[in-house]
Amino acid sequence: MKYLLEKDKRKRFLILNQELLIYVLKSFRNNMFLKNSIRLNSTLILFNLHNNSFKSRCVNRCILTYRKSKIHKKYFFSRISFLDIVRRGYLSGVKKANW
């Protein structure tokens, strides 16, 4: 499971490095006042970028188990780990809802 963490770190590092470039190229592509050649070149550069340099390729994983499904957005734990942590009392201020 450790390789998933290392793979995720590499992807996030690549995304961080390419974020500004992608933003600029997309703004060039969508600007209708520029020449078509500039817009086409920016589209080609975007097309040739590595797939892992886009934010949509980044996967949120659980901190403890590296599960990728059903992640709590605030705490970054999977639902199973989150319930276990709350039941043990490690996470203060959270309690089971009664209905």
Question: Residues 6, 54: one domain?
Answer: yes
Per-residue confidence (pLDDT) for residue 16, from 0 to 100? 92
Per-residue confidence (pLDDT) for residue 98, from 0 to 100? 67
Question: Residues 51, 66: one domain?
Answer: no
CATH number for 71: 4.10.830.10
Question: Residues 51, 67: one domain?
Answer: no
Measure Cα distances from 39 to 9, 19, 54, 73, 86 in Å: 32, 19, 19, 37, 52
Tokens 């500004």 locate to 20
Question: Residues 38, 67: one domain?
Answer: no
**Exposed, middle or buried: residue 62 (CB in 10 Å: 0-12, 13-18, 19+)?**
buried
Question: Residues 3, 34: one domain?
Answer: yes
Question: Residues 48, 66: one domain?
Answer: no
Residue 98: alpha-carbon gap to chain centroid:
34
Domain that holds residue 85: 60-99
3-state SS class at 71: strand
- Give the pLDDT band of residue 27 (cuts 50, 70, 90): very high
Question: Residues 13, 53: one domain?
Answer: yes
**Statement: residue 31 has pLDDT above 80:** yes
Q: 38-57 pLDDT, tens per residue?
A: 999 999 999 999 888 888 88
Provide the whole-model pTM.
0.65
Q: 42-98 pLDDT, tens per residue?
A: 999 999 998 888 888 888 888 888 888 888 888 888 989 988 888 888 888 877 776
- Number of domains within the chain: 2
